[in-house]
Amino acid sequence: MTRKSYATTSRRLQRSAPAMRLFEKAKRLGIWNPSDIDMAQDGMDWQQLDSAEKTVMLHLTSLFQAGEEAVTLDLLPLIGAIAQEGRIEEEMYLTTFLWEEAKHVDFFNRVLCDVFGHDGDLSEFIDDNYRLIFFDALPTALHALQTDRSPAAQLRASVTYNMIVEGVLAETGYQAYFTVLERNNLMPGVREGVRLLKQDESRHIAYGVYLISRLVAADPALWAVVEETMNALLMPTLAVIGDIFGRYDPMPFGLTEDEFVAYALGQFQKRIGRIESARTASLDEIETVTRIVIDADDA
The CATH number given to whatever domain includes residue 43 is 1.10.620.20
| H or E element in which residue 55 lies | helix 51-74
Mean of the pLDDT values across residues 55-68? 96
Asked whether residue 248 is assigned to any structural domain, the reply reads yes
Asked whether residue 12 is assigned to any structural domain, the reply reads no
Asked whether residue 50 is assigned to any structural domain, the reply reads yes
pLDDT in the model for residue 134: 97
Quote the pTM value.
Answer: 0.94
pLDDT in the model for residue 298: 60
In sequence order, the 6+-apart residues with CB closer than 8 A to the CB of 164 are 133, 137, 230, 233, 234, 237
Where residue 1 falls among pLDDT bands split at 50, 70, 90?
low
Asked whether residue 137 is assigned to any structural domain, the reply reads yes
Asked whether residue 1 is assigned to any structural domain, the reply reads no
- pLDDT above 70 (res 235): yes
- pLDDT above 90 (res 119): no
Asked whether residue 255 is assigned to any structural domain, the reply reads yes
pLDDT in the model for residue 4: 75
Asked whether residue 272 is assigned to any structural domain, the reply reads yes
Domain that holds residue 265: 17-23+39-296
User: What's the number of CA atoms in the CB half-sphere (13 Å) around residue 89?
Assistant: 15
In sequence order, the 6+-apart residues with CB closer than 8 A to the CB of 149 are 81, 84, 85
State the DSSP code for 116: S
22-61 tens-digit pLDDT = 999 999 999 999 999 999 999 999 999 999 999 999 999 9
Asked whether residue 34 is assigned to any structural domain, the reply reads no
What is the domain count for the chain?
A: 1
